[in-house]
C-alpha cells in the first residue's frame, strides 16, 4: 500500500509551477498584443503542452499580474484538449488583486473562478514575505519550473535560485 508521503512525492513529480516578472518589468508592459509578448506566449504554450505530453498533470500559478495569469489562460485553453490537467492558484493573500487596475482585477476574478483549487497562504498582505512564502510553497510542491526572467534581481530571481537549491528542472524564457 502506498503511504501518504509516497503519494505526495509521486504527485510532486507530475507538478509544474510558474514564476515571472510583473508587467512593469517587461518590455511590453500591460500590452499583451505586443509582438514580443505574443512570441513569448507562443513559446510558453509549446512548453506547457510538451510538459503535459510528458505526463505533467498539475500546475501551480501564483496568480500575479502578467506572466502568472498568461500561464493560467494558456492552461485553460489546453484543458479543453487535455481534460486530465488540474490548475491551482497559490495566493500569497486573499486581497492580492485589491490595488490592481480594475481590468486586471476582472481578469483575475474570471481566472480564479476557473481554477481547480486555491491555496491561500495568508489572510492579508504582510509585505514581500508573503509573496516569497507563496513562491516557496509552489517550488516545494513541484518538480519543474517555467520562468519568464530578464536576469534582473527581484522575486523571480529569488524564486529561480530557490528552485535551483531544491533541484527542480528549470526552463527560462527571456522576454
Q: At what angle do helices 35-53 and 67-79 cross, to 10 degrees?
A: 50
Give the C-alpha distances (Å, rounded to integers) separating 74 from 42, 71, 154. 10, 5, 25
Q: Coil, strand, or helix at residue 20? A: strand
Contact 114, 96 (CB under 8 A): no
Partners of 170 in the beta sheet? Answer: 145
- The pLDDT score that the predictor gives to residue 17 is 98
H-assigned helices in the chain: 4-12, 35-53, 67-79, 102-112, 128-140, 155-165
The tens digit of pLDDT for each residue in 81-116 reads 999 999 999 999 999 999 999 999 999 999 999 999
Contact 59, 85 (CB under 8 A): yes
Backbone dihedral angles phi then psi of residue 148, each to the nearest 5 degrees = -100, 110
Share in percent of the chain as helix, strand, coil (round to 5): 45, 15, 40
Cell of 16: 509544474
The tens digit of pLDDT for each residue in 126-169 reads 888 999 999 999 999 999 999 999 988 889 999 999 999 999 99
The larger pLDDT score, comparing residue 91 to residue 10, is at: 91
Question: Domains, the chain, ranges and CATH?
Answer: 28-173 (3.40.50.450)
Closest CA to 15 of 126, 163, 148, 173: 163
Residues contacting residue 22 through CB under 8 Å, at least 6 positions apart? 64, 65, 66, 67
Amino acid at each position: 500500500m502506498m503511504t501518504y508521503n509516497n503519494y505526495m512525492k509521486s504527485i510532486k513529480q507530475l507538478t509544474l509551477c510558474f514564476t515571472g516578472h510583473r508587467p512593469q518589468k517587461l518590455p511590453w508592459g500591460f500590452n499583451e498584443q505586443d509582438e514580443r509578448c505574443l512570441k513569448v506566449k507562443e513559446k510558453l504554450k509549446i512548453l506547457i503542452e510538451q510538459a503535459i505530453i510528458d505526463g505533467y498533470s498539475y500546475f501551480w500559478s501564483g496568480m500575479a499580474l502578467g506572466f502568472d495569469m498568461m500561464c493560467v489562460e494558456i492552461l485553460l485553453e489546453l484543458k479543453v484538449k487535455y481534460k486530465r490537467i488540474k490548475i491551482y492558484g497559490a495566493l500569497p493573500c486573499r486581497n492580492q488583486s485589491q490595488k490592481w487596475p480594475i481590468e486586471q482585477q476582472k481578469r483575475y476574478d474570471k481566472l480564479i473562478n476557473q481554477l481547480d483549487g486555491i491555496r491561500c497562504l495568508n489572510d492579508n498582505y504582510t509585505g514581500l514575505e508573503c509573496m516569497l512564502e507563496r513562491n516557496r510553497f509552489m517550488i516545494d510542491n513541484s518538480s519543474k519550473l517555467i520562468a519568464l526572467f530578464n536576469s534582473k534581481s527581484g522575486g523571480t530571481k529569488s524564486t529561480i535560485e530557490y528552485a535551483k537549491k531544491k533541484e527542480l528542472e528549470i526552463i527560462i524564457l527571456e522576454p
